[in-house]
């Protein structure tokens, strides 16, 4: 029966043309290499080398065997690497970028999905705002992320939209919810908005600015806060109204502002969520797993977007 040990000794001898040199390369005693080659010849019923002086010369049969032996050993090495990769994956750290409000859609649930499949993993969800996370992607601090677009500069990144969520107007005054909120009404509203640190690049604010472009005004914010939960609480107290994704309204209003409600904008406005990674990157199993699970969870809550060709811009 052929063994990997025999094939290893055969290839080393073939390459060096010397049993002694083969033994030195492999770290074996020369008689051990000779014995492995003789055992291989006996198993195959052929002569693989002829002695010439202090070396050996491969026979035609050895020439025929060589590529097959190389393929066998290469396959074994690939199998070993694959197993080690899985072993490392099962006990390593998985990092995935995610903008702040996405934790309402795929935060604890996403981590639970990962740990259910791979209990030995350590999980990190990184990021507060899409622009910040995109920069981490470009600098190689993250492999992949779930971001809100189109406010993300796609230079050097591949952007694949996977879902969209309607933006809704929330208020504690139900007379303001009797009909969809037009651009004119929105321009007159007193709002509390989250993401104040990132107000210039926040995707929701950008959508509202575009909606109000024809009125010549920007959304008027009475109160600025960082997190959407605080904004919703203030809406529930009646201090201001706000515009947030519908998924966030469904989750947060019953808990933080039970007397508040929501209504659509006119025309309807949407945030689009996308999977993003560096253009041309070969994603690790961990990154591919997170993309798969985050996509499934996001599409189960928000409106799925039929995948098209990714938007990609190759940076310098």
Q: Are residues 169 and 263 in the same domain?
A: yes
Measured between alpha carbons, how far is 224 from 222 in angstroms, rounded to an integer?
7
Specify the pLDDT at position 2. Answer: 85
What is residue 291's predicted lDDT score, i.e. its pLDDT?
93
Contact 260, 235 (CB under 8 A): yes
Whether residue 158 lies inside any domain: the answer is no
Considering only CA atoms, which of 141, 158, 86, 106 is closest in space to residue 290?
Answer: 106
292 in the same domain as 212: no
| Residue 210 domain flag | yes
- Looking at the structure of the chain, the number of domains it has is 3
220 found inside a domain: yes
How many Cβ atoms are within 10 Å of 116's Cβ, its own excluded? 9
* 73 and 220 inside one domain: no
* Same domain assignment for residues 57 and 123: no
What is the model's pLDDT at position 150?
A: 64
Each as own residue / partner, the long-range contacts of residues 34-38 (CB below 8 Å, 24 or more positions apart, any chain) are: 36/5, 36/6, 36/8, 36/9, 36/10, 37/6, 37/9, 37/10, 37/13
Q: Is 160 helix (H, G, I), strand (E, B) or coil?
A: strand
Residue 157 resides in a domain: no
The answer to whether position 223 is within a domain reads yes
Ramachandran sector of residue 80 (left: φ over 0; alpha: ψ -120 to 50; beta: rest): alpha
CA dist., res. 231 & res. 194, Å (int): 6
Answer whether 60's CB lies under 8 Å from 49's CB.
Answer: no
What CATH number corresponds to the domain at position 232?
3.40.190.10
How many whole angstroms separate alpha carbon 300 and alpha carbon 289?
Answer: 17
Q: Kindly report the CA angle at 106 between 219 and 248, in degrees rounded to 5?
A: 35
Q: Please tell me whether residues 81 and 10 are part of one structural domain.
A: yes
Q: Could you tell me if 281 and 141 lie in one domain?
A: yes
Whose CA is closest to 33, among 17, 15, 10? 10
- 159 located within any domain: no
- How many Å apart are CA 63 and CA 309, to the nearest integer? 48
Residues 6 or more apart whose Cβ sits within 8 Å of residue 118: 89, 90, 289
CB atoms within 10 A of CB 272: 20
- What is the domain range of residue 132? 93-152+277-312
Residues 112 and 144 in one domain: yes
Domain CATH for 62: 1.10.10.10
3-state SS, residue 106: helix
Instruction: Determine how many CB atoms are found less than 10 A away from the CB of residue 269.
Output: 20
Residue indicated by tokens 């591919």: 288
Residues 38 and 81 in one domain: yes
**Local confidence pLDDT in tens for the 316 residues of the chain:** 789 999 999 999 999 999 999 999 999 999 999 999 999 999 999 999 999 988 999 999 999 999 999 999 999 888 877 677 666 566 678 889 998 888 888 889 999 999 998 888 889 999 888 888 988 998 888 999 999 886 566 788 999 999 999 999 999 999 999 999 999 999 999 999 999 998 988 889 989 999 998 788 878 899 999 999 999 999 999 999 999 999 999 999 999 999 999 999 999 999 999 999 999 888 888 888 999 999 999 998 899 987 554 444 333 3
pLDDT on residue 80: 79
One domain for residues 190 and 148: no
| Res 87: pLDDT | 62
| SS percent in the chain: helix, strand, coil, step 5 | 50, 25, 25
CA distance 263 to 169: 5
Domain match, 174 and 260 both: yes
Q: What pLDDT does 176 receive?
A: 97
Tokens representing 35 are 């014995």
The answer on 77 and 216 residing in a single domain is no
């Amino acid at each position: 029966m052929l063994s990997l040990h025999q094939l290893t000794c055969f290839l080393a001898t073939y390459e060096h043309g010397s049993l002694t040199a083969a033994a030195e390369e492999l770290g074996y005693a020369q008689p051990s290499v000779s014995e492995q080659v003789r055992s291989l010849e006996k198993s195959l019923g052929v002569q693989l080398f002829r002695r010439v002086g202090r070396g050996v010369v491969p026979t035609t049969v050895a020439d025929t065997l060589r590529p097959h032996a190389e393929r066998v050993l290469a396959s074994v090495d690939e199998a070993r690497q694959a197993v080690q990769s899985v072993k490392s994956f099962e006990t390593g750290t998985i990092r995935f970028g995610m903008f702040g409000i996405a934790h309402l859609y795929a935060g604890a649930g996403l981590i639970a999905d990962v740990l259910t499949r791979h209990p030995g993993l350590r999980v990190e969800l990184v990021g507060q705002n899409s622009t910040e996370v995109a920069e981490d992607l470009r600098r190689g601090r993250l492999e992949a992320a779930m971001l809100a677009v189109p406010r993300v500069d796609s230079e050097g990144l591949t952007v694949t939209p996977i879902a969209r969520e309607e933006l809704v107007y929330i208020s504690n005054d139900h007379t303001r919810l009797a009909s969809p909120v037009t651009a004119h009404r929105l321009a007159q509203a007193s709002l509390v908005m989250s993401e104040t640190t990132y107000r210039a690049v926040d995707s929701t604010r950008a959508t509202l600015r575009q909606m109000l472009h024809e009125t010549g005004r920007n959304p008027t914010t009475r109160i600025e806060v960082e997190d959407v939960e605080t904004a919703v609480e203030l809406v529930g107290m009646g201090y201001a109204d706000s515009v947030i994704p519908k998924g966030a309204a469904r989750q947060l209003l019953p808990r933080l502002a039970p007397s508040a409600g929501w209504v659509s904008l006119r025309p309807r406005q949407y945030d689009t969520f996308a999977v993003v990674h560096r253009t041309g990157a070969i994603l690790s199993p961990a990154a591919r797993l997170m993309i798969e699970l985050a996509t499934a969870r996001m599409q189960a809550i928000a409106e799925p977007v039929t995948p098209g060709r990714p938007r990609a811009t190759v940076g310098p």
